[in-house]
């Protein structure tokens, strides 16, 4: 029995893989760190980059409703930036006595201003990067929604389970075989050598289905 397509990992894969060329997907490098330095690296990254990350994540664009936008996009990022700023300033103020012994005066004001300036620069950088990325993400999300509508309107159905199989309008079982820039190619179960295709435009939008 066919199931709700919105619950299908395969449908989600098809919608997202087709728009990879839009620039939404980014490569990820994995680095190995020792257990002794991991905590310090996390704290350093949190205090130094948390403000920049919060501004970037707040402005880069998300596919959320009004409630999700307020609580996740804005409120959580605001809390993150506030916590990072507080921790960052505590570290800066902690080192103020060292400057006192070096300069022979009370540098608390100068240290506080310097810390706020650093966080301000990081916030501006995060804001700029977020706004720069926003058009690409918005375009990619629109293409994903269009692809979901295309699959539904053309009678593609999810068969459920863990099998990476979908059904076309005629009941053919399709297995993804190749994700190309111009098409998603499927093997047709039970028909050796047969291939079906969903044709894509230049932005990864599904435009037509070519059965086997």
Domain residue limits, the chain: 29-153
177 and 185 in contact (C-beta within 8 Å)? yes
Mean pLDDT of the chain: 78
Least confident of 48-62, 100-114, 191-205: 100-114
Using pLDDT thresholds of 50, 70 and 90, give the confidence band for residue 105: low
Using pLDDT thresholds of 50, 70 and 90, give the confidence band for residue 28: very low
pLDDT of residue 33: 41
The rounded distance, in Å, linking the Cα atoms of 76 and 62 is 14
Look up residue 71 and give its DSSP letter.
I
User: Secondary structure of the chain: what % helix, strand, coil (to 5)?
Assistant: 60, 15, 30
Look up residue 186 and give its DSSP letter.
E
**134-181 per-position pLDDT tens digit:** 898 888 889 989 999 999 999 998 877 677 889 999 999 999 998 888
Least confident of 106-115, 167-176, 188-197: 106-115
61 to each of 23, 112, 130, 139, how far by Cα in Å? Answer: 14, 32, 8, 10
Whether 198 shows a pLDDT value over 90: the answer reads: yes
**67-77 per-position pLDDT tens digit:** 888 888 889 88
pLDDT of residue 100: 57
| Residue keyed to tokens 């540098």 | 107
**30-69 per-position pLDDT tens digit:** 334 444 455 655 666 667 778 888 888 888 877 778 888 8
């Amino acid at each position: 029995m066919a199931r709700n397509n919105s619950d299908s990992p395969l449908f989600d894969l098809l919608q997202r893989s087709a728009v990879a060329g839009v620039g939404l997907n980014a490569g990820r490098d994995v680095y190995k760190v020792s257990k002794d330095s991991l905590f310090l690296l996390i704290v350093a990254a949190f205090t130094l980059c948390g403000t920049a990350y919060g501004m970037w994540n707040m402005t880069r664009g998300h596919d959320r409703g009004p409630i999700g936008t307020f609580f996740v996009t804005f409120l959580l990022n605001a809390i993150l930036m506030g916590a990072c700023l507080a921790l960052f300033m505590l570290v800066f103020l902690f080192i103020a006595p060292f400057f006192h012994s070096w300069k022979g005066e009370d540098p608390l004001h100068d240290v506080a201003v310097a810390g706020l300036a650093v966080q301000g620069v990081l916030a501006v950088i995060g804001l700029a990067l977020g706004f720069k990325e926003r058009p690409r993400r918005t375009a990619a999300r629109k293409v994903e929604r269009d692809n979901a509508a295309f699959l539904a309107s053309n009678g593609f159905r999810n068969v459920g389970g863990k099998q990476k199989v979908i059904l076309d309008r005629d009941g053919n079982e399709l297995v993804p075989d190749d994700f190309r820039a111009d098409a998603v190619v499927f093997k047709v179960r039970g028909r050796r050598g047969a291939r079906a295709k969903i044709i894509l435009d230049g932005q990864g939008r599904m435009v037509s289905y070519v059965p086997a």
